[in-house]
């Protein structure tokens, strides 16, 4: 089956620890995205990558880092510098640069205490 | 003013009703308009998208865009309990394919 996988589904961390969220796709899509979703708010773009070894900051990149070493993978690291890391994190991909056809993974719910 | 606004609901309708979900936006440069459906604790899934003003139909779903009033609608005919979800409107900006997501409207279809 083609699709996007995110792991784990739930993640718990202590404040001050860095944590890495996994995102893998086998759709052969060029572009990948990371969003954050908080209750009552729309999805907010953290980082995006249109090709391997290249990525750009989105609207709320502070406290996050990414890498894009392989076309299939786009991991997100939530660092201790992120002030409010508890949220639902969503990874998406799209063919080419067609941001209008974004396919989402199931999400990772991160709780930091 | 937020770039994209939606009534958060919740909107509750009986099974079989016609549902109208609405969205307004502020940036006249938007050209593509998407609707996503998101079930609780799941990732959004793309329902359909339209380009510029006009209507687009896909089964029980019809998307309508009025660029002159910056108003987007999604109509669901013969609504089913399985349509119970949050619906996100998402216009596409013109810079680097950035999509702006609305906060979503929660819909509940009662059997």
Centre a 10 Å sphere on the Cβ of residue A90 and count the other Cβ atoms it contains: 26
The minimal CB distance from A97 to the residues B34, B45, B97 is found for B97
**Closest-CA distance of chain A to residue B111, Å:** 26
Q: Specify whether the CB–CB gap between B58 and B68 falls below 8 A.
A: no
The minimal CB distance from B98 to the residues A40, A99, A103 is found for A99
Over residues B12-32, the pLDDT tens digits come to 999 999 999 999 999 888 888
Average pLDDT over residues B80-100: 86
Cβ contacts of A56 on chain B, cutoff 8 Å: 96
- A103 near B CB under 8 A: yes
Q: What per-residue confidence (pLDDT) applies to B21?
A: 97
Chain center to CA of B18: 14
**Closest-CA distance of chain A to residue B82, Å:** 18
Q: What per-residue confidence (pLDDT) applies to B96?
A: 56
Which residue would you say has higher pLDDT here, B106 or B54?
Answer: B106
Average pLDDT over residues A52-81: 95
Q: Specify whether the CB–CB gap between A56 and A48 falls below 8 A.
A: yes
* pLDDT band, very low/low/confident/very high, at B51 (cuts 50, 70, 90): confident
Average pLDDT, chain A: 93
**Closest-CA distance of chain A to residue B81, Å:** 21
Average pLDDT over residues A76-105: 90
Helix, strand, or coil here: B82? helix
Q: What gap in Å lies between CA B100 and CA B84, rounded to an integer?
A: 23
Size of interface A-B (CB pairs under 8 A): 61
The C-alpha angle with vertex A99 and arms to B24 and A81, in degrees rounded to 5, equals 90
Q: What gap in Å lies between CA A44 and CA A70, rounded to an integer?
A: 24
Which residue would you say has higher pLDDT here, A97 or A25?
Answer: A25
Q: What per-residue confidence (pLDDT) applies to A1?
A: 58
The minimal CB distance from B101 to the residues A31, A43, A50 is found for A43
Average pLDDT, chain B: 92
* pLDDT band, very low/low/confident/very high, at A42 (cuts 50, 70, 90): confident
**pLDDT score of A40 more than 80:** no
* pLDDT band, very low/low/confident/very high, at B95 (cuts 50, 70, 90): low
* Phi-psi sector, B22: left (phi>0), alpha (psi -120 to 50), beta: beta
Q: Which sign does the torsion angle of CA A72, A22, B35, B91 carry? A: negative
**pLDDT score of A64 more than 60:** yes
């Amino acid at each position: 089956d083609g699709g996007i996988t995110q792991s784990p589904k739930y993640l718990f961390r202590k404040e001050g620890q860095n944590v890495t969220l996994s995102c893998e796709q086998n759709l052969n899509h060029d572009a990948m995205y990371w969003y954050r979703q908080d209750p009552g708010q729309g999805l907010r773009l953290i980082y995006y990558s249109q090709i391997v070894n290249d990525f750009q900051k989105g609207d709320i990149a502070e406290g996050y880092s990414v890498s894009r070493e392989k076309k299939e993978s786009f991991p997100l690291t939530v660092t201790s510098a992120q002030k409010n890391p508890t949220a639902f994190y969503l990874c998406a991909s799209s063919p080419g640069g067609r941001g209008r056809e974004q396919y989402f993974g199931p999400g990772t719910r991160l709780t930091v205490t | 003013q937020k770039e994209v606004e939606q009534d958060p609901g919740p909107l509750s309708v009986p099974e079989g009703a016609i549902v109208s979900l609405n969205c307004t936006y502020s940036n006249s440069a938007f050209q593509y308009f998407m609707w996503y459906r998101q079930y609780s604790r799941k990732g959004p899934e793309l329902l359909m998208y339209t380009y510029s003003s006009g209507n687009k139909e896909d089964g029980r779903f019809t998307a309508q865009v009025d660029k002159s009033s910056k108003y987007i609608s999604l109509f669901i005919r013969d609504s089913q309990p399985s349509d119970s979800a949050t619906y996100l409107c998402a216009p596409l900006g013109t810079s680097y394919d950035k999509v702006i997501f609305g906060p979503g409207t929660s819909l509940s279809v009662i059997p």
